[in-house]
């Protein structure tokens, strides 16, 4: 599971393994300082109890006060290390959020129209919103879990230096514990995958409802739609309940069994009667602290199992867009010529019949044409082939003496336009909508376009003219 998660992180951000290793190294350095402080505390406490004025730690002899002062110095360095760790881990999580969104949107914009149009309503928004946020949380959890694992390693090493026998027994029980609880992580992953799927269905349904609000009220089907949406919400809630129950129960089981393993290891050491209190004390303190980090590692496994499907969905979406890129040519055009279809056919993926078959058509420059036919007869498909947003399944489309797929898409976009069946507005001014993300178009060109469309007088009647604000739901305009 962790390996697959790291592979998915490679899709959404650069060098995740290296960055996670840096986070773990920072934390491990701090853990070494913490281990030193814990040993000093344990040994100084035993020294005070024994009435000693000086003690030996790691072959060095010093007074109790000197050891305490050294511990304070280690603590100051540890505080700095904690800040560095928090900065690195939080930065990694934030970068996963922004990078996953950037890569998702870039991949979407670079994908073919056929691939983009295959998305359900609101699917891209869901991936760039909720799923990316959950992926960032997952990345933070992985960073903390990796750091905790490094901390366990450091504390076990220091404990082994104090008492190899006691540490070996406790470590063996800890490894067995992870093996025993591994099926819980698998169960959590499967339950989480079902939740992500059902939640995506719910999100698509809500997005669809936002588009048909008027029709829902006109046909009086509010109650039916409410029941449908509530059922899909309940389905998602049921899957979330299963996922969270397994996760929480697994975490509690780990803590209980881990404490039992620690007690069993210490009982074994005491029963052999081979260690003195000076060795048992530091070993106990170090392993109790290691247990808290081990709990964090186990929690990480549970969270990864629960949230990995979110990251998997984002990564799969990016891969899917990248596997179907938009075809791009290199030839620049400065004017349109006669457009010819040569034996052109087009079939939608999964369709039984071709929407257009063996078409030989000629569209003469500066001429007007009308295309009529029944619903589903291929009129929209023909317009999309003409605009170059869909490549033909077979045959060729020529513009003058150049094949359409050899023409630079940006050059082609400057020469063609369309009025789609479903008119949409973007958030911004009327001028922003006319420009449509093309800042090189000046106000004079905007005014001329509005005049050509026959709406200039209406627009200029507004107090703010072409700068009148409108919204995606057509607020600010009517008619």
pLDDT surpassing 60 at residue 375: yes
Whether residue 275 contacts residue 165, with contact meaning beta carbons closer than 8 Å, is answered with: yes
Greatest mean pLDDT among 150-159, 269-278, 286-295, 300-309: 150-159
Q: 281 or 120: whose pLDDT is higher? A: 120
Estimate to the nearest angstrom the gap between the alpha carbon of 451 and the chain centroid.
45
DSSP annotation of 130: I
Mean pLDDT of 301-311: 82
Residue of 279, 401, 312 lying closest to 127 (CA atoms): 312
Is the confidence at residue 439, as pLDDT, over 90? no
For 242-268, the pLDDT digits (tens) are: 777 776 676 666 666 666 666 665 566
User: Rounded to whole angstroms, how far apart are CA atoms 412 and 406?
Assistant: 10
pLDDT confidence bin for 377, thresholds 50/70/90:
confident
Residue 365 is predicted with a pLDDT of 86
pLDDT score, position 196: 75
Q: In the numeric block, which tokens belong to residue 11? A: 């899709």
* pLDDT for res 457: 92
Residue 270 has pLDDT above 70, yes or no: no
The length of the chain is: 479
Residue 125: per-residue pLDDT: 87
Mean pLDDT in residue range 266-292: 65
Average pLDDT, the chain: 83
Q: Give me the mean pLDDT over the 140-168 stretch.
A: 82
**Given this model, what pLDDT does residue 162 score?**
73
Q: How many CA atoms lie within 13 A of 6 on its CB side?
A: 14
Range picked from 152-161, 339-348, 433-442 for highest mean pLDDT: 339-348
| Greatest mean pLDDT among 31-40, 162-171, 280-289 | 31-40
CB atoms within 10 A of CB 411: 14
Contact 391, 327 (CB under 8 A): yes
- The whole-number pLDDT of residue 268 equals 60
For the beta carbon of residue 355, count every other beta carbon within 10 angstroms: 20
Q: How confident is the model at residue 239 (pLDDT cuts 50, 70, 90)?
A: confident
Query: What is the Rg, in whole angstroms, of the alpha carbon atoms belonging to the chain?
Result: 33
Residue 476 has pLDDT above 80, yes or no: no
**pLDDT of the residue at 262:** 60
Q: pLDDT of 443-452, one tens digit each?
A: 999 999 999 9
The per-residue pLDDT for range 43-76, each reduced to its tens digit, is 888 778 777 888 888 788 889 889 889 989 998 9
**Which has more confidence, 80 or 207?**
80
Sign of the four-CA dihedral 184, 185, 190, 193: positive
Helices (H), 128-212: 132-162, 164-211
Mean pLDDT of 360-378: 89
Could you tell me the pTM of the whole model?
0.72
| Beta-carbon count within 10 A of 214 CB | 8
Residues 391-419 have a mean pLDDT of: 89
Express as a percent the part of the chain with pLDDT over 90.
Answer: 32
The predicted structure's pLDDT at residue 314:
93
Residue 407's SS3 state is strand
Q: What value, to the nearest 5°, has the Cα angle with vertex 135 and ends 130 and 141?
A: 130
Q: How far apart are CA 195 and CA 302, in angstroms?
A: 15
What tokens does 280 get?
């048992």
% pLDDT > 70, the chain: 85
Alpha carbons 387 and 370: distance in angstroms, whole number: 15
- Residue 413 pLDDT > 70: yes
Question: What is the pLDDT, as a whole number, of residue 15?
Answer: 93
Closest CA to 254 of 168, 158, 148: 148
Query: Quick one: DSSP state of residue 474?
Result: -
pLDDT at 393: 92
Q: What is the pLDDT of residues 325-355, one digit of tens each?
A: 888 788 998 888 899 999 999 998 888 889 9
Could you report the per-residue pLDDT of 414-435, keeping only the tens digit for each? 888 888 777 778 888 999 989 8
What confidence score (pLDDT) does residue 397 get? 94
């Amino acid at each position: 599971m962790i390996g697959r998660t790291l592979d998915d992180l490679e899709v959404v951000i650069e060098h995740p393994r290296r960055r996670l290793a840096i986070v773990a190294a920072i934390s491990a350095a701090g853990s070494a300082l913490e281990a030193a402080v814990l040993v000093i505390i344990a040994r100084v406490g035993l020294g005070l109890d024994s009435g000693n004025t000086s003690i030996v730690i790691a072959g060095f002899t010093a007074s109790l006060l000197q050891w305490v002062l050294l511990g304070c110095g280690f603590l100051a360095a540890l505080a700095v290390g904690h800040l560095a760790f928090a900065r690195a881990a939080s930065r990694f999580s934030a970068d996963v959020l922004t990078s996953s969104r950037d890569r998702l949107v870039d991949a979407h914009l670079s994908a073919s129209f056929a691939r983009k149009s295959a998305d359900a309503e609101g699917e891209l928004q869901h991936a760039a919103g909720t799923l990316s946020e959950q992926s960032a949380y997952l990345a933070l959890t992985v960073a903390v879990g990796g750091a905790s694992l490094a901390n366990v390693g450091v504390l076990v090493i220091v404990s082994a230096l104090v008492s190899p026998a006691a540490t070996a027994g406790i470590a063996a029980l800890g490894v067995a514990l992870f093996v025993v609880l591994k099926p819980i992580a698998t169960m959590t992953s499967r339950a989480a995958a079902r939740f992500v799927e059902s939640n995506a269905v719910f999100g698509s349904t809500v997005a669809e409802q936002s588009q048909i609000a008027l029709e829902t009220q006109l046909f009086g089907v509010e109650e039916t739609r409410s029941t449908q949406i509530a059922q899909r919400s309940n389905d998602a809630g049921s899957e979330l309940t299963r996922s969270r129950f397994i996760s929480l129960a697994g975490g509690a089981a780990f803590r209980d069994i881990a404490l039992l393993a620690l007690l069993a290891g210490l009982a074994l050491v005491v029963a052999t009667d081979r260690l003195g209190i000076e060795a048992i004390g530091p070993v106990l303190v170090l392993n109790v602290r290691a247990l808290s980090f081990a709990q964090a590692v186990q929690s990480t496994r549970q969270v990864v199992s629960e949230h990995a499907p979110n990251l998997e969905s984002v990564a799969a979406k990016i891969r899917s867009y990248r596997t179907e890129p938009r075809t791009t040519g290199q030839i620049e055009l400065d004017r349109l010529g006669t457009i010819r279809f040569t034996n052109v056919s087009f079939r939608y993926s999964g369709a039984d019949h071709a929407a257009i078959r063996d078409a030989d058509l000629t569209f003469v420059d500066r001429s007007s044409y009308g295309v009529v036919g029944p619903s589903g007869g291929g009129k929209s498909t023909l317009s999309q082939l003409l605009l170059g947003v869909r490549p033909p399944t077979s045959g060729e489309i020529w513009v003058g003496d150049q094949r359409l797929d050899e023409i630079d898409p940006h050059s082609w976009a400057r020469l063609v336009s369309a009025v789609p069946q479903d008119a949409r507005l973007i958030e911004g001014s009327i001028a922003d909508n006319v420009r449509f993300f093309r800042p090189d178009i000046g106000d004079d060109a905007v005014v001329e376009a509005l005049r050509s469309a026959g709406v200039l007088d209406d627009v200029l009647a507004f107090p703010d003219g072409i700068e009148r604000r409108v919204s995606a739901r057509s607020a600010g305009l009517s008619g």
